Amino acid sequence: MTLFAVIAAAPIVAQTAPPPQSVPTAPQQNSAGDSTTLTPEQLDRQWEGARDAAPAGAAGAAGAEPAQPAAADQGAGYADLADLVLAAPVIADATIRSTARIKGAEAADVAPGLVRFYVEADVTALIRGSGGVAPRLGYLLDVAPDSNGRLPKLKKARVLLFARTAGTSTAEIQLVARDAQRDWTPALDAQVRRIAREVLAADAPPVITGIGNAFHVPGALPGEGETQIFLTTSDQRPVSLSILRRPGEQPRWAVALSEIVDEAAAPPPRGSLLWYRLACALPAAMPDRSVASMAATDAVIAREDYQFVLRALGPCGRSPRR
């Protein structure tokens, strides 16, 4: 098993200095001599004809990270992928063309047990990147040897890259996290594209920043009532949780993305951007200030209803960041 990791702390190409001399310079032309930056539309038009063009076995050539199962990318958690998609202005499907091991001063900050490479990869399709990218990308990658001390065979591996451009060049990128290079699989590609569409949609749910006020209204019958919990968001858009209790029935809850609570509203499906926004951002308990204006009995019920929502959402499932 091998570990893919990227140096996310320092750009590949500093804005005020050229690449170190020991690092190969990223080529400015593709194999056909075309140095034109490709737009997302141009690359996506190539997608259907190129998606199966990678060499056989390339998808798994470099293995998986030791902390994850061998098929980790095929069943990758939504939260981990959403973190990468949200952090990456550039998401590219690419095939590794060449690698050059970096030693000496340029590798002085490499973590113990890792080996640094400069990688060049040819872009097959651009999943995200409004400014376009060069047909060939260069970036730094730190790799862990397997249990036998062997380094992975990176050349010809097909990967998904989650990155940002480094400096002003569209040919040099910086991966956004230590796990921001993933072995390409059809399932992973489809999931990443779906998340990217959700993130870029005009009606994408806002970032949840906390809990505002809440209230509970008891019903006419014992055990009947409704709790409404208002959430705070990064752009001040309204988001609220509604929990309805009826005698002899399981509580029902829904989320509203407007000031009007739609009676037909429902909980978000697991593995959706709205679910991610809630499950990965809501605190473990409702703050005292949110129920400060309620009667004590109503506050108890409101807290119970909030816990019901958390249980229904389930855990965020985010992996420890490396």
The Cα 43–Cα 48 span in angstroms is 10
What mean pLDDT is predicted for residues 137-163?
A: 93
Q: Using 50, 70 and 90 to split pLDDT, how confident is the model at 215?
A: very high
> What pLDDT score does 43 carry?
44
**Triad 203, 261, 231: Cα angle to 5°:** 70
pTM for this predicted structure: 0.74
Q: What are phi and psi of 186, to 5 degrees?
A: -60, -40
The Cα 203–Cα 250 span in angstroms is 30
Q: What are phi and psi of 106, to 5 degrees?
A: -70, -15
User: What distances in angstroms separate CA 12 from CA 47, 111, 121, one per listed residue?
Assistant: 27, 17, 14
For strands 239-245 and 252-256, give the pairing: antiparallel
> What pLDDT score does 45 carry?
47
The Cα 322–Cα 319 span in angstroms is 9
Q: Using 50, 70 and 90 to split pLDDT, how confident is the model at 322?
A: low
Mean pLDDT of the residues in the chain: 80
Residue with structure tokens 């809850």?
253
Q: Using 50, 70 and 90 to split pLDDT, how confident is the model at 122?
A: very high
